[in-house]
Structure formats: C-alpha cells, structure tokens
Structure 1
Amino acid sequence: MKTCELFKKKTTLSFEVFPPKSSTPVESIYSTISQLQPLNPDFISVTYGAGGSTNNATIDICSAIKNHHKIESVAHLPCLYQTKERVLEQLEEMKSANIENILALRGDRNPDFEPAGDFHYASDLVSFIKEHSDMNVIGACYPECHPECDSIVDDIKHLKDKVDAGCSQLITQLFFDNSTFYDFREKTAIAGINVPIEAGIMPVTNKKQILRMTTLCHATLPKKFLKIMDKYENDPIAMRDAGIAYAVSQIVDLIANDVDGIHLYTMNNPYIAEKICEAVKSLF
C-alpha cells in the first residue's frame, strides 16, 4: 500500500528505525521490529547508511517489515552520493521486494566523500523516481528551517518544489515546541503545499545525545525542556521517564490540533515506543 492513502482514513502513527552498525549483526533489528509490531504502526521507515555509503541493509529490513511482519515500510534514499544508475538499481530491488514507498532525501554532506554529481537536491531525486517508477515518494521538511537555508521563506519555496516534483506526503525533522510546528504548517498552507504533514517526535532519554542532534538540525530547545534535562541528566531512569512524558504531552497537543500524523523516532528502543503508545493509543 502507498502510505499516502492512509491519511484519507485516519491520523497516522508511524515509526523510524535504523540499520545496526556494521559491527552489530543485522538480526538485532529484527528483534526490535518484532517488539514494535504489536503496537500496530501504520508504517515503519528505515534510514540509510552514512553519507557516501552504498552498502546498507535498508532494503532488506524494509522487505522484512513488509513481507514478514505485514507492516507497510518506507525506505530512506539519500541522493547526494548516488549515481542515476545506482538509484535505478535500487528502485528495481525495492520493486522486487514489494516495497512501494520511498523517503527521498538529499542526505547530509560528508567531507570524506565527493558527491556523485547526478543529484544536487532532493527535488531532483523526487522527479527522477517519479519518472522511472510508480513509487509513492515522501519528502522531509524542517519546521525551523533547513540548517543550510538562509530563511524559512526560501526553505518553504524549496519544499514546494519538492511537492510539485511528486512528493505525496511530508515528515518533519524533530522539534520540541509545538507552536513552531503550527507556525510552519500555516506557512506551508499559504505556500500552496497541501499534502499531509506528519510531525516527527523524538523522545529524549539522553542529554548529550539530544544536544548533539539539535546542534546538527538547529532545533530549538524550550526552557521547560532544558529544565527537565538539567534536573534529570544524571538519573537515566528519571531522564527516560521524563522524556517519554514530554513526548506524550507533545503528541496529545498535536492530535488535539488536528495533526495529520505522528512519526516517532524510536532510536531502536521498543520500550520507549511501547510506553508512548500505551499513553496515546485511544487518540488514534
């Protein structure tokens, strides 16, 4: 099923997982997925290897999610270091694996690799996929503006290009202040972007980890959130529980304000996903 069809029926709940590191057996992710399955997500997306990497388990994991666990899957596909020939190969691999959904990304720059030069922006990849397949293509978006973009106005213009190229739905980068998302949603509507937008929610369980991630994506940390991290940073259990509670409060508020869907960045931690889903399951 193409995941864009889900939004016609309900508020969606989806998860993101990532392939294990090369030093870890790939089978470890299948245990994670088995624990996520009873939570009944509408789909699970699988991230790609680091910048410049072409050898990864994304398609295999997506195939297992779709064909073994009977959950719709979304394969991440960054393009900056991909040739057109390699993308075509992966489209064929996905088709053979019964995968119908792609999250089309430019991908992060990696100073250790030279871009292939075939794709400069995610919109280039979106157009290419739509030209060569009937895949459902999803785009990423940044409520607080892409770190490399000069302004949110320019960023939304680029986002409109992506949607016009063929994106049927969008998933946001993480954010911790819902008012930021509502402001972004209003701006996208004014720009004529009328596809469903899933809100990306990151449960925080580790202060150092989230500070590193927010530095990379320029997400703002509200004062009340910073107080939570400062108070519980040396108590892992309390930090975990506080992070879960904060994510739940975000989700409750988003659903009350008619969000199209929630995309939970699970960090491959089924326990956290389970606790959040227990708290909000009646809202979906």
Structure 2
Amino acid sequence: MLIKDLFKQKRMVFSFEIFPPKLTSPIETVYKTIEELAVLNPDYISVTYGAGGSVNNNRTCELSSLVKNKYGIEALAHLTCINSSEDKINKIVENLNKNNIKNILALRGDVNGEENGSDRYNYAFELIKHLRDKGNLCLGAACYPEGHVQSDNLDNDILYLKNKVDAGADFLVSQLFFDNNLYYNFLDKAASKNINIPIQAGIMPVTNKKQIERIASLSGAYLPQKFIKIMDKYEHNKEALRDAGIAYAVEQIVDLVSSGVSGIHLYTMNNPYVAKKITNSIESLINHINEEAI
C-alpha cells in the first residue's frame, strides 16, 4: 500500500524509523530490532539512508525489503540525492521496485565535501520532480518545524517546503522537536502557504544526554527548560533518564494526538524497548482517534 493511502484511511498514522548499522557492523544486527518493532504493528517503518554510498544504499534497500516482504509492514526507504547522478538515482529506484518498495522519502542529504562530478540534484524538490515522473511511487519529504539550520528563518524555509509540495510530495515527516507550541506555529505557517498534505510529527525519546545534545546542536532544535531539567536531573542514572525521556515523549504525543495532528513518526534509535513502552502508552488513544474516523 502507498503511504499516502494510509493517510486517507486513517485519521492518525503511527510509524517508526530505524537506521542501518555502521558499515563496519554486520547488517544482521538490525534484524532482531525489526522483528521486535514489527510486533507493535506500526503503519509503516522508515529506513534511513546515511553516509556510505552504494553500500549503505544496498543496506537501506535490504532492510526495507525485510520490513515489507517478510513482516508485511509498509516500508519507507530514504533516498538522498546530493552529489548523485541521474543514472545512480534511477538504479536505486529500480532496485527498490524489484523489492516491492514503492514509498520513498526524498531528501537532499548532507553535503560532505565529496564530489562525483554531478550537479544534477542540489535540492530535494529536484529529486521529487524526477521521481514523480516514474509512475506509481509515493513520495514523502522532510519538514523542519523550527526551520532548517541552513535557512535564514522559518518563513523562508516554508517557502522552500512549498517547492517540495508543488514538485509532487505526497506527505511530510517533521524533524524532531521538543516544544509542541513550536510545531503548532509551524503548522499554522505551512497552512497559510497552502501546504495541505499530511504532516507527521517527528518525536525522539531521550535516552542519552550527550546524544540528544549533539542531535539538537546539529538540528537546531530548541530544548525547553522542562526538558533540560530532566536531562540534568537524571543524566547519571541510565534507567531513570530513559524512563523520564519516555514519559516526556508520551506527554508530547498525547498533546499532539489530542490536537488532531495527522500522524506520529517515532525516531526509535533502533531501541525496541523504548518503542514498545511508548506504543503501549498511547495505543488506546490512537485506536480511539482512528475508530472515530470509521
């Protein structure tokens, strides 16, 4: 099923994100993670596409195929385009098609200084335009509730986001955020620019202070004082910080679901325990919302 059709069938779409292991680690290390997440019955599971070139892309395809073809859960394969040739993109899409993967999250990707002699794609909307011409694909795109770190401000960033929508994106998945009010402000601004496709809220539970500080630094995410107090209070107690992080994420999700957002995308960090705890806490809420829509 195309993910855009999930949004038509459900008022609330709930999904997970996983990532392939480092190239120095065997891919089998993620198999058990997928098996444990599949039991939670998410609407789909996305598989990231990080640095590492064709080898990493093969891993993205392999894990996406496992999600889709072994466990029967829709897979969303990430695809980055920066420094990629049209031929390379076409071969990747062909490989995904062979594995029955029709849902792609089209991303620019990080500029890492490597060059392959191609300037075919410099922005995500260019990749979306190219993929839109390839037939029966469902295309997701990223959005940034606080603005992309390379954008001058949120208003300009939303104009760039409109380019992705106009190019043919079917739905949006947001970067992580820790202050729901900032997300609601973003939704209002997006709506004012006639961005009316489904937007999923990206939520990342805190399990490690240094990790989340690094991610926040890279993404530019604002850390509310309430959130900082939790990290400072429990940073030296791994289990306490994990449980407090789960509780904070659940609180965010309850508010978001009650406010009528289109979906929740949980950045699992390949941690089935955290995903299970959060899913169990909000399952009845999501079921209630979706039953209302029947």
Same fold (TM over 0.5): yes
Q: Percent identity?
A: 51
Counterpart residue number, 1:102:
104
Deviations 1:30-81 (A, max 9, x none): 110000011110000000131x622210011101100001000000001002
Deviations 1:219-238 (A, max 9, x none): 00000000000000010000
Counterpart residue number, 1:247:
249
Separation (CA, whole Å) in 2 of partners of 1:49 and 1:155? 23
Counterpart residue number, 1:54:
54
Counterpart residue number, 1:70:
72
Separation (CA, whole Å) in 2 of partners of 1:115 and 1:122? 18
Residues 49 and 55 in structure 1, CA contact (< 8 A), matched pair in contact too: no
Separation (CA, whole Å) in 1 of partners of 2:137 and 2:100? 11
Residues 83 and 122 in structure 2, CA contact (< 8 A), matched pair in contact too: no
- Alignment-mate amino acid for residue 73 of structure 2: I
Counterpart residue number, 2:15:
14
TM-score, length basis structure 1? 0.98
How many residues are paired up?
A: 283
Separation (CA, whole Å) in 2 of partners of 1:244 and 1:194? 30
2:44 maps to 1:38: no
Separation (CA, whole Å) in 2 of partners of 1:113 and 1:126? 21
How far the C-alpha of 1:115 sits from its partner, in A, is 7.0
- Alignment-mate amino acid for residue 45 of structure 1: S
Question: What secondary structure, in the 3-state scheme, does the structure 2 residue paired with 1:14 have?
Answer: strand
Separation (CA, whole Å) in 2 of partners of 1:115 and 1:73? 31
Residues 15 and 45 in structure 2, CA contact (< 8 A), matched pair in contact too: yes
Residues 80 and 115 in structure 1, CA contact (< 8 A), matched pair in contact too: no
Counterpart residue number, 1:225:
227
Question: What secondary structure, in the 3-state scheme, does the structure 2 residue paired with 1:41 have?
Answer: coil
Structure 1 residues 151, 53: CA separation in 2 closer, same or farther (over 3 Å shift)?
same
Question: What secondary structure, in the 3-state scheme, does the structure 2 residue paired with 1:148 have?
Answer: coil
2:168 to 162, 166, 171: 166
Separation (CA, whole Å) in 1 of partners of 2:46 and 2:61? 11
How far the C-alpha of 1:27 sits from its partner, in A, is 1.0
Separation (CA, whole Å) in 2 of partners of 1:115 and 1:271? 43
- Alignment-mate amino acid for residue 75 of structure 2: S
Root-mean-square deviation over aligned CA pairs: 1.1
1:1-284 matches, cutoff 5 A: 1-10=1-10, 11-50=12-51, 53-56=53-56, 57-113=59-115, 116-284=118-286
Separation (CA, whole Å) in 1 of partners of 2:201 and 2:229? 23
Structure 1 residues 189, 115: CA separation in 2 closer, same or farther (over 3 Å shift)?
farther
What stretches of structure 1 of length at least 5 have no aligned partner? none
Residues 32 and 268 in structure 1, CA contact (< 8 A), matched pair in contact too: yes
How far the C-alpha of 1:113 sits from its partner, in A, is 4.7
Question: What secondary structure, in the 3-state scheme, does the structure 1 residue paired with 2:96 have?
Answer: helix
